Homo-oligomer: A and B are copies of this chain.
Amino acid sequence: MSSINSSIYTDRGVNHGSVRPAFNRPLGKLKLWSHVSEIGDFLRVQLSSNLGDQDDRFQHINYKAGQHIYLLGQPFESLYLVNSGFLKSVLYDDLGNEQVLDFPMSGDVLAIDSLHTNYHNSEAIALADCNIIKLPYRNLIKLSHRSEQVERAVFGFFSKELMNQQIRLSLLGKSKAEARVAQFLLLLSNRFLSLGYSGNEFNLRMSRCEIGSYLGIKLETVSRVLSSLNESGLISVRQKKIAINDIDALRNLQSPSSSHCSH
């Protein structure tokens, strides 16, 4: 019953964390996320039945802030289920410019976009210390064949991720900078709340520049909007510490207009 915690570092030093078998660890907050809890339960069944060799297990891996979970171009072999922590996933265009795709948190699955190729199309980097469950693709598929619930969960992840992206698309398509930042804060607030943290006070783990990339605006604009919201009293900003004072007013900042494309 002693905790196994062997740290593994290569000379790269960035894309490995410490590894330990998952069965030492309760799944904690995961029950708040239906898809996650379904997968979580079946992982435990799988693990306790102790089938297969070492490779068949679903490992928990710890990453320190700044470490990569996977790098662009690495061979794809696994999905990653975030158990705890906070990360960013980024895409690079032809010129090497960085585009922040998402800030995954507990309950999110990483690397889905790389599934149809043999290598990773994006990168995931820990912004805070993370505990991540590695889901080797082959094993996950095998497991999904044996359990309809796991299968539904897997498809659910995919579909949900796609819908999240669509909602972001819709955000970037319209709305002004103020509305984007407001929606971003509301998104984080909701997310923290559903994870059992405070929805009114939290820390931004990412830089202004990363927020700007995520929202499609410049870092100066992010800063200006935050200052403006701070002055009007809707929020309180102190560096990376955010407090939401008037959540309803924030919601009302949603962009009022779009075009009709009447039919």
- Does A77 have its Cβ within 8 Å of any Cβ on chain B? no
A166 close to B258 (CB less than 8 A): no
23 residue pairs from A and B, CB less than 8 Å apart: A91-B170, A93-B174, A95-B256, A97-B174, A97-B258, A97-B259, A99-B170, A101-B169, A112-B162, A113-B166, A115-B156, A116-B160, A158-B162, A161-B162, A165-B165, A165-B169, A168-B169, A172-B173, A172-B216, A173-B213, A173-B215, A209-B259, A209-B261
Beyond A156-B115, A158-B112, A162-B161, is A259–B174 a contact (Cβ under 8 Å)?
no
Our pick among B99, B114, B161, B259 for the contact of A258 (Cβ within 8 Å) is: B99
A91-B169, A172-B173, A209-B259 are known contacts; what are 8 more A-B pairs with Cβ within 8 Å? A94-B254, A95-B254, A99-B173, A100-B261, A113-B162, A116-B158, A158-B158, A209-B261
Contact digits for A47-75, partner B, Cβ 8 Å, 1 yes 0 no: 00000000000000000001000000000
What CA separation (Å) do A113 and B168 show in the bound complex? 13
Closest chain B residue to A158, Cβ basis: B158
